[in-house]
Structure formats: C-alpha cells, structure tokens
Amino acid sequence: MKKMRRSPQTTCVLAEFLRDEKAWRYGYDISRNTGLKSGTLYPILMRLAEHRLLETSWETAEEGRPPRHIYKLTRDGLRYAREQVGATSARVVGELAFGGARG
C-alpha cells in the first residue's frame, strides 16, 4: 500500500476526529466543521479508510430515508491522527515563534 500523503486538509480532518476520538461521524458534519467541500473531503476519508485508519459503516435511518455512511478512527488511526496533528501543531508554533520575527 502506498504511503499516506500529508496535506493540510488531511491534518484538518484528523484534528476534527480527535475532537471526539471514539465517536462515529457523518461526512456532512465533518465537512461543515472543517469547511472542506465534499470533493476534497470524501477522497481523504476514502484514503484514510483504505489505509485502515478509519472504520466505516452504513447507518440505517428511519424508513424513507437513505442509509448514511459513518466514520470513526481505528486504534491505528487514533495513533496516526495524534502524531500528525501533534507534528503540525509543533511546526506551526515553531514558525510563529521563529519564522515571524522581523529584524
């Protein structure tokens, strides 16, 4: 399997999952909370699932409504999310502390 590509958008999605680590999430809610459009979000979710970092399931709704796809981090996904979001946070803090100074 190919290595996961790191992008700011993927990090944003992972950070959103870390807000409630054990909860199942709807793609619509992730999109709304991150500001990512579906054309950006769903390929990220599919890639994370292909790498077994997300568990996916279909939620059957009340009669007359279509089932909805739901997502949650796997154990490996939780570890990966913490690493990626933590590394990004440390890098941003370093850039703010050292990169923004003017002389």
Q: How far apart are CA 68 and CA 24, in angstroms?
A: 11
Q: How many residues does the chain have?
A: 103
pLDDT of 27 reads 95
Supply the mean pLDDT for the chain. Answer: 85
pLDDT band at residue 62 under the 50/70/90 scheme: confident
**Topology of domain 8-99, CATH:** Arc Repressor Mutant, subunit A (1.10.10)
pTM above 0.75, yes or no: yes
Measured between alpha carbons, how far is residue 56 from residues 46, 48, 49, 91, 97 in Å?
9, 10, 7, 31, 39
pLDDT digits (tens, 9 = 90+) for 12-55: 999 999 999 999 999 999 999 999 999 999 999 999 999 999 99
Where are the domains positioned within the chain? 8-99
Region of residue 52 (phi > 0: left; psi between -120 and 50: alpha; otherwise: beta)? left
